[in-house]
Amino acid sequence: MAKTDHPVNERIPSAADPGYSGPVSSEPVRKILVVDDEPDIRDFLSYNLRREHFEVHTASDGVEGLQMALHLRPDIVLLDVMMPGMDGVEVCAELRRHPEMHSVLIVFLTARGEDYSQIAAFQVGADDYITKPVRPRVLVSRLQALLRRSNRSRQEQVSDPKAPDDPSASVFEPSPDHNSEDAVPEPILSGSVPGLEIDVDAFVVRRSGQEIYLTRKEFRLLVLLVSRPNVVLRREQILRSIWGDDPLMSDRTIDVHIRKIREKTGLDNIRTVKGVGYKWSS
Protein backbone atom coordinates (compact mmCIF):
# COMPACT_ATOMS: atom_id res chain seq x y z
CA MET A 1 0.00 0.00 0.00
CA ALA A 2 1.34 3.42 -0.95
CA LYS A 3 2.26 5.76 1.87
CA THR A 4 0.16 8.90 2.04
CA ASP A 5 1.77 10.93 4.79
CA HIS A 6 3.38 14.22 3.83
CA PRO A 7 6.01 16.22 5.72
CA VAL A 8 3.53 19.03 6.30
CA ASN A 9 -0.17 19.46 5.80
CA GLU A 10 0.09 22.15 3.20
CA ARG A 11 0.39 22.33 -0.56
CA ILE A 12 3.67 21.57 -2.22
CA PRO A 13 5.15 24.92 -3.33
CA SER A 14 5.96 25.40 -6.97
CA ALA A 15 9.23 26.75 -8.34
CA ALA A 16 7.03 29.24 -10.21
CA ASP A 17 5.98 30.93 -6.98
CA PRO A 18 6.76 34.64 -7.50
CA GLY A 19 8.62 37.01 -5.27
CA TYR A 20 11.17 34.73 -3.60
CA SER A 21 14.83 35.51 -4.01
CA GLY A 22 16.17 33.71 -0.93
CA PRO A 23 18.74 34.91 1.57
CA VAL A 24 22.28 35.59 0.52
CA SER A 25 24.65 33.21 2.29
CA SER A 26 28.42 33.06 2.47
CA GLU A 27 28.31 29.48 3.76
CA PRO A 28 29.62 26.74 1.46
CA VAL A 29 26.97 24.88 -0.49
CA ARG A 30 26.12 21.64 1.26
CA LYS A 31 25.28 18.55 -0.74
CA ILE A 32 22.26 16.52 0.38
CA LEU A 33 20.83 13.30 -1.02
CA VAL A 34 17.10 12.73 -0.48
CA VAL A 35 16.08 9.06 -0.69
CA ASP A 36 12.32 8.50 -0.74
CA ASP A 37 10.03 6.43 -2.97
CA GLU A 38 7.26 9.06 -3.05
CA PRO A 39 7.76 11.63 -5.85
CA ASP A 40 5.71 14.36 -4.15
CA ILE A 41 7.81 14.14 -0.99
CA ARG A 42 11.04 14.22 -3.00
CA ASP A 43 9.80 17.28 -4.87
CA PHE A 44 8.63 19.01 -1.70
CA LEU A 45 11.91 18.41 0.14
CA SER A 46 13.99 19.37 -2.89
CA TYR A 47 12.15 22.66 -3.26
CA ASN A 48 12.53 23.68 0.37
CA LEU A 49 16.13 22.53 0.70
CA ARG A 50 17.17 24.37 -2.46
CA ARG A 51 15.57 27.51 -1.05
CA GLU A 52 18.05 27.16 1.80
CA HIS A 53 20.94 26.81 -0.68
CA PHE A 54 21.49 23.07 -0.41
CA GLU A 55 22.67 21.22 -3.49
CA VAL A 56 19.96 18.57 -3.69
CA HIS A 57 20.11 15.15 -5.34
CA THR A 58 17.30 12.60 -5.17
CA ALA A 59 16.88 8.84 -5.38
CA SER A 60 13.61 6.94 -5.67
CA ASP A 61 14.54 3.79 -3.76
CA GLY A 62 17.14 2.35 -1.42
CA VAL A 63 19.29 0.64 -4.04
CA GLU A 64 19.56 3.80 -6.12
CA GLY A 65 20.16 5.85 -2.98
CA LEU A 66 23.03 3.60 -1.90
CA GLN A 67 24.71 3.83 -5.29
CA MET A 68 24.29 7.61 -5.49
CA ALA A 69 25.56 8.15 -1.95
CA LEU A 70 28.73 6.17 -2.60
CA HIS A 71 29.28 8.11 -5.83
CA LEU A 72 28.35 11.62 -4.63
CA ARG A 73 29.73 11.52 -1.06
CA PRO A 74 27.08 14.06 0.11
CA ASP A 75 27.23 15.97 3.37
CA ILE A 76 23.84 14.56 4.40
CA VAL A 77 21.77 11.56 3.36
CA LEU A 78 18.08 12.07 4.18
CA LEU A 79 16.42 8.63 4.28
CA ASP A 80 12.92 7.25 4.45
CA VAL A 81 12.53 3.93 6.28
CA MET A 82 9.87 2.12 4.26
CA MET A 83 11.04 1.69 0.68
CA PRO A 84 10.76 -1.21 -1.78
CA GLY A 85 13.75 -3.42 -2.44
CA MET A 86 16.06 -2.04 0.23
CA ASP A 87 14.73 -0.12 3.20
CA GLY A 88 16.38 2.85 4.85
CA VAL A 89 17.88 0.89 7.74
CA GLU A 90 19.60 -1.46 5.31
CA VAL A 91 20.91 1.48 3.29
CA CYS A 92 22.30 3.16 6.41
CA ALA A 93 23.98 -0.05 7.58
CA GLU A 94 25.60 -0.60 4.19
CA LEU A 95 26.83 3.00 3.96
CA ARG A 96 28.46 2.78 7.39
CA ARG A 97 30.47 -0.24 6.20
CA HIS A 98 32.39 2.06 3.85
CA PRO A 99 35.13 4.09 5.60
CA GLU A 100 34.68 7.03 3.23
CA MET A 101 31.08 7.34 4.43
CA HIS A 102 31.86 7.53 8.16
CA SER A 103 31.80 11.34 8.15
CA VAL A 104 28.55 11.60 6.17
CA LEU A 105 25.53 12.60 8.25
CA ILE A 106 22.67 10.12 7.89
CA VAL A 107 19.25 11.39 8.94
CA PHE A 108 16.00 9.44 8.85
CA LEU A 109 12.84 11.35 7.90
CA THR A 110 9.89 9.02 8.18
CA ALA A 111 6.36 8.53 9.41
CA ARG A 112 7.51 5.50 11.41
CA GLY A 113 7.63 6.79 14.97
CA GLU A 114 7.82 3.50 16.88
CA ASP A 115 10.61 3.09 19.37
CA TYR A 116 11.92 -0.03 17.68
CA SER A 117 12.27 1.78 14.34
CA GLN A 118 14.27 4.56 15.97
CA ILE A 119 16.44 2.10 17.88
CA ALA A 120 17.13 0.13 14.70
CA ALA A 121 18.16 3.34 12.93
CA PHE A 122 20.56 4.43 15.66
CA GLN A 123 21.98 0.93 15.95
CA VAL A 124 23.16 1.01 12.33
CA GLY A 125 24.72 4.46 12.63
CA ALA A 126 22.04 7.13 12.09
CA ASP A 127 22.89 10.64 13.28
CA ASP A 128 19.28 11.73 13.76
CA TYR A 129 15.73 10.46 13.41
CA ILE A 130 12.93 12.88 12.51
CA THR A 131 9.30 11.86 12.33
CA LYS A 132 6.78 13.25 9.86
CA PRO A 133 4.95 15.53 9.74
CA VAL A 134 7.59 18.20 10.25
CA ARG A 135 7.60 21.81 9.16
CA PRO A 136 10.22 22.67 6.55
CA ARG A 137 11.84 25.32 8.74
CA VAL A 138 12.15 22.84 11.61
CA LEU A 139 13.69 20.24 9.31
CA VAL A 140 16.17 22.72 7.88
CA SER A 141 17.08 23.93 11.37
CA ARG A 142 17.75 20.36 12.49
CA LEU A 143 19.95 19.69 9.47
CA GLN A 144 21.87 22.93 9.93
CA ALA A 145 22.42 22.13 13.61
CA LEU A 146 23.85 18.73 12.67
CA LEU A 147 26.16 20.35 10.14
CA ARG A 148 27.37 22.90 12.69
CA ARG A 149 28.20 20.15 15.18
CA SER A 150 29.95 18.12 12.50
CA ASN A 151 31.96 21.15 11.34
CA ARG A 152 32.91 22.02 14.90
CA SER A 153 34.05 18.46 15.50
CA ARG A 154 36.25 18.48 12.39
CA GLN A 155 37.73 21.87 13.24
CA GLU A 156 38.53 20.77 16.77
CA GLN A 157 40.07 17.58 15.49
CA VAL A 158 42.37 19.65 13.23
CA SER A 159 43.39 22.08 15.97
CA ASP A 160 43.38 19.49 18.75
CA PRO A 161 42.72 15.88 17.76
CA LYS A 162 41.82 15.02 21.34
CA ALA A 163 39.18 17.73 21.74
CA PRO A 164 35.52 16.69 22.19
CA ASP A 165 32.64 17.86 20.00
CA ASP A 166 30.88 19.67 22.84
CA PRO A 167 32.98 22.51 24.25
CA SER A 168 30.55 23.02 27.14
CA ALA A 169 31.20 19.58 28.60
CA SER A 170 34.59 18.10 27.86
CA VAL A 171 34.66 14.35 27.56
CA PHE A 172 38.26 14.54 28.73
CA GLU A 173 37.61 16.59 31.83
CA PRO A 174 39.65 15.00 34.64
CA SER A 175 37.91 13.31 37.54
CA PRO A 176 38.41 14.80 41.02
CA ASP A 177 41.13 12.29 41.87
CA HIS A 178 43.17 13.09 38.75
CA ASN A 179 45.81 15.81 38.63
CA SER A 180 46.05 18.36 35.83
CA GLU A 181 48.58 16.29 33.92
CA ASP A 182 45.87 13.66 33.40
CA ALA A 183 43.31 16.09 31.96
CA VAL A 184 43.85 14.86 28.40
CA PRO A 185 44.27 11.15 27.69
CA GLU A 186 47.21 9.71 25.83
CA PRO A 187 46.75 9.36 22.06
CA ILE A 188 46.55 5.59 22.57
CA LEU A 189 44.22 4.29 25.29
CA SER A 190 43.89 0.70 26.45
CA GLY A 191 41.55 0.89 29.43
CA SER A 192 43.76 -1.70 31.15
CA VAL A 193 42.42 -4.35 28.74
CA PRO A 194 45.14 -6.51 27.14
CA GLY A 195 45.05 -6.20 23.36
CA LEU A 196 42.68 -3.22 23.35
CA GLU A 197 43.96 -0.14 21.53
CA ILE A 198 41.96 3.08 21.14
CA ASP A 199 43.71 5.50 18.82
CA VAL A 200 42.18 8.85 19.73
CA ASP A 201 43.95 10.71 16.91
CA ALA A 202 42.86 8.31 14.16
CA PHE A 203 39.40 7.49 15.58
CA VAL A 204 40.24 3.79 15.42
CA VAL A 205 39.57 0.96 17.88
CA ARG A 206 41.48 -2.32 17.67
CA ARG A 207 41.38 -5.45 19.76
CA SER A 208 44.12 -8.06 19.34
CA GLY A 209 45.12 -6.22 16.16
CA GLN A 210 41.63 -6.45 14.64
CA GLU A 211 40.01 -3.12 13.79
CA ILE A 212 36.51 -2.66 15.21
CA TYR A 213 34.13 -0.30 13.45
CA LEU A 214 32.31 2.08 15.77
CA THR A 215 30.11 4.99 14.75
CA ARG A 216 31.30 8.45 15.76
CA LYS A 217 28.98 8.57 18.75
CA GLU A 218 29.96 5.06 19.87
CA PHE A 219 33.65 5.95 19.59
CA ARG A 220 33.26 9.15 21.59
CA LEU A 221 31.21 7.37 24.23
CA LEU A 222 33.85 4.66 24.58
CA VAL A 223 36.64 7.23 24.89
CA LEU A 224 34.61 9.19 27.43
CA LEU A 225 34.29 6.11 29.64
CA VAL A 226 37.83 4.79 29.18
CA SER A 227 39.36 8.21 29.91
CA ARG A 228 37.58 8.27 33.30
CA PRO A 229 38.33 4.78 34.68
CA ASN A 230 36.30 3.67 37.70
CA VAL A 231 34.40 6.97 37.74
CA VAL A 232 30.61 6.77 37.54
CA LEU A 233 29.29 9.07 34.83
CA ARG A 234 25.70 10.13 35.28
CA ARG A 235 23.34 9.75 32.35
CA GLU A 236 22.84 13.49 32.08
CA GLN A 237 26.62 13.99 31.91
CA ILE A 238 26.88 11.46 29.10
CA LEU A 239 23.99 12.99 27.16
CA ARG A 240 25.43 16.50 27.49
CA SER A 241 28.94 15.41 26.53
CA ILE A 242 28.04 13.27 23.53
CA TRP A 243 24.75 14.68 22.24
CA GLY A 244 24.82 18.25 23.52
CA ASP A 245 21.47 19.83 24.31
CA ASP A 246 19.38 17.89 21.77
CA PRO A 247 16.00 17.51 23.52
CA LEU A 248 15.13 14.42 21.47
CA MET A 249 17.96 12.34 22.90
CA SER A 250 17.00 10.21 25.90
CA ASP A 251 18.33 7.62 28.32
CA ARG A 252 17.34 4.94 25.85
CA THR A 253 19.73 6.46 23.30
CA ILE A 254 22.62 5.90 25.72
CA ASP A 255 21.49 2.34 26.45
CA VAL A 256 21.41 1.48 22.74
CA HIS A 257 24.91 2.85 22.16
CA ILE A 258 26.33 1.10 25.23
CA ARG A 259 24.83 -2.19 24.07
CA LYS A 260 26.33 -1.78 20.60
CA ILE A 261 29.77 -1.00 22.03
CA ARG A 262 29.60 -4.12 24.19
CA GLU A 263 28.51 -6.25 21.25
CA LYS A 264 31.11 -4.92 18.84
CA THR A 265 34.08 -4.98 21.20
CA GLY A 266 33.19 -8.03 23.26
CA LEU A 267 34.20 -6.09 26.38
CA ASP A 268 32.50 -6.35 29.76
CA ASN A 269 34.34 -3.41 31.32
CA ILE A 270 31.40 -1.04 30.89
CA ARG A 271 29.39 -1.47 34.06
CA THR A 272 25.84 -0.26 34.61
CA VAL A 273 25.27 1.65 37.83
CA LYS A 274 21.54 1.20 38.23
CA GLY A 275 19.60 4.42 38.44
CA VAL A 276 22.74 6.54 37.95
CA GLY A 277 24.75 5.86 34.81
CA TYR A 278 27.78 3.92 33.61
CA LYS A 279 31.45 3.49 34.45
CA TRP A 280 34.54 1.89 32.93
CA SER A 281 35.91 -0.77 35.28
CA SER A 282 39.67 -1.11 34.81
Return the CATH number at 218.
1.10.10.10
Indicate if 148 and 45 belong to the same structural domain. Answer: yes
Residues 29 and 53: beta-carbon distance below 8 Å = yes
* Last residue in a domain, options 124, 157, 190: 157
pLDDT bucket at 68, cuts 50 / 70 / 90: very high
C-alpha distances (whole Å) from 214 to each of 5, 148, 211, 259, 279 are: 34, 22, 9, 12, 19
> Distance between CA 201 and CA 256 in Å, rounded?
25
Amino acid identity, position 271: R
Domain CATH number, residue 67: 3.40.50.2300
How many other β-carbons are positioned within 10 Å of the β-carbon of residue 22? Answer: 9
Q: For residue 226, is it within any domain?
A: yes
Nearest to 83 by CA among 58, 100, 105: 58
Q: Which of 27-36, 66-75, 232-241 has the highest mean pLDDT?
A: 66-75
Indicate if 269 and 205 belong to the same structural domain. Answer: yes
Q: What is the pLDDT of residues 112-148, one digit of tens each?
A: 877 778 888 888 888 889 988 888 999 999 898 888 8
How many other β-carbons are positioned within 10 Å of the β-carbon of residue 245? Answer: 11
Lowest mean pLDDT among 36-45, 64-73, 213-222: 213-222
How many other β-carbons are positioned within 10 Å of the β-carbon of residue 206? Answer: 14
The parent domain of residue 144 ranges over: 30-157
Cβ burial, residue 81 (10 Å; 0-12/13-18/19+): buried
Indicate if 258 and 175 belong to the same structural domain. Answer: yes
Please determine, for residue 4, whether its predicted confidence score (pLDDT) is greater than 60: no
The pLDDT value given to residue 33: 97
Number of residues in the chain: 282
Q: For residue 169, is it within any domain?
A: yes
* Last residue in a domain, options 157, 178, 202: 157
> Distance between CA 149 and CA 154 in Å, rounded?
9
How many other β-carbons are positioned within 10 Å of the β-carbon of residue 104? Answer: 22
Indicate if 123 and 143 belong to the same structural domain. Answer: yes
Indicate if 181 and 232 belong to the same structural domain. Answer: yes
Q: How many domains does the chain have?
A: 2
Residues 35 and 80: beta-carbon distance below 8 Å = yes
Q: What is the DSSP letter of 10?
A: S
Residues 118 and 129: beta-carbon distance below 8 Å = yes
Q: For residue 56, is it within any domain?
A: yes
Q: For residue 19, is it within any domain?
A: no
Please determine, for residue 192, whether its predicted confidence score (pLDDT) is greater than 80: no
Q: For residue 15, is it within any domain?
A: no
Indicate if 135 and 58 belong to the same structural domain. Answer: yes
Lowest mean pLDDT among 9-18, 186-195, 245-254: 9-18
Q: What is the pLDDT of residues 178-189, one digit of tens each?
A: 333 333 344 566
* Last residue in a domain, options 157, 191, 219: 157
